[in-house]
Amino acid sequence: MANAADKPVGRRKFLSEAAAGAAGLVASPHIGSATPADFRASEQNAGHQNAPSDVALRVKALESILVEKGMIDPATIDAVIETYESKVGPRNGARVVARAWVDPAYRKRLLADGTSAIAELGYGGSQGEHMVVVENTATVHNLVVCTLCSCYPWPVLGLPPTWYKSAPYRSRAVIDPRGVLREFGVTLADDVQVRVWDSTAEIRYLVLPERPPGTEGMIEEQLAALVTRNAMVGVAKVSVPRGANA
């Protein structure tokens, strides 16, 4: 089952709407009954709760000039961003998760000191941020948010998806985490405790999802291929696609 929420929203659209927002052309986002689709839509509005930052406008202006002069190809830029947003980043985190699933000693180190254990696999923060890994179990489900802005574990997950930066997700993940999870397709039993972790510039969280049943015969690489970005943010569970060789 494909994860619709995993589909990256075009950054070009975001940039152009951020510019429109600066001109006061876009309505402010609604908060209250947002669905994942709303999270994605409102991310296009993310810049308009406040006007887009000077940096965002400057980047947009520079990019427009370079494209106009034929010095850069916008498709190439999008491809690079897309790579970091949905391929390179999340794949690093997936390798961390898969290693923890197959190597109990590694899992123990990962939960005790996420920063060091992640560095063992060659992934590290460029901004000196501290990594904390929180484990989902049959009785605890962890969800990661940054209520203040969009702090996110870049070295293991790449660029944050736009819904992660949206006002509805940032507020509702705290107010109504079970409701948010339901909208992402995760329904938790009442006796499962939900823990919401608010990321900061100094501390970034990574969810260690539960290893799905039926994967006992899989090797580490096969397991890593199952792990999605959303599962490591805590808005999805890891599942085995039908027909997968388990």
Question: 5-14: b or e for each residue (b if 16 or more CB lie within 10 Å)?
Answer: beebbebeeb
**How many other CB atoms are there within 10 angstroms of residue 201's CB atom?**
12
For Fe ion, which is the closer residue by CB, 142 or 150? 150
Smallest distance, Å, CB 149 to Fe ion? 3
Q: Which stretch binds Fe ion (CB under 5 A): 79-87, 117-125, 144-152, 188-196?
A: 144-152
Judged by CB under 5 A, which of 15, 151, 180, 223 binds Fe ion? 151
| CB contact at 8 A, 164 and 233 | yes
Least spacing, CB of residue 194 vs Fe ion, in Å: 21
CB 132 within 8 A of CB 203: yes
Question: Beta 193-198 vs 140-145: how paired, if at all?
Answer: parallel
Q: In this chain, which stretch among 48-56, 143-151, 177-185, 217-225 interacts with Fe ion, using CB under 5 A?
A: 143-151
Judge contact between 193 and 244, C-beta under 8 A: no
CB of 199 to Fe ion, least distance (A): 6
Active-site position among 28, 33, 116, 149: 149
31 three-class SS: coil
Please state the closest distance from residue 204 (CB atom) to Fe ion, in A. Answer: 9
Please confirm, yes or no, whether 86 is among the known catalytic residues: no
> Of 20, 90, 83, 88, whose CA–CA distance to 56 is shortest?
20
Of the candidate residues 4, 67, 149, 175, the single one contacting Fe ion (CB under 5 A): 149
The question of whether 53 is a catalytic residue gets the answer no
Is residue 157 within the footprint of Fe ion (CB under 5 A)? Answer: no
Active site annotation includes 64:
no
Structure token pair of residue 164: 């992660």
Catalytic annotation present for 16: no
Residues that bind Fe ion (CB under 5 A): 146, 148-151
Catalytic residues: 146, 149-151
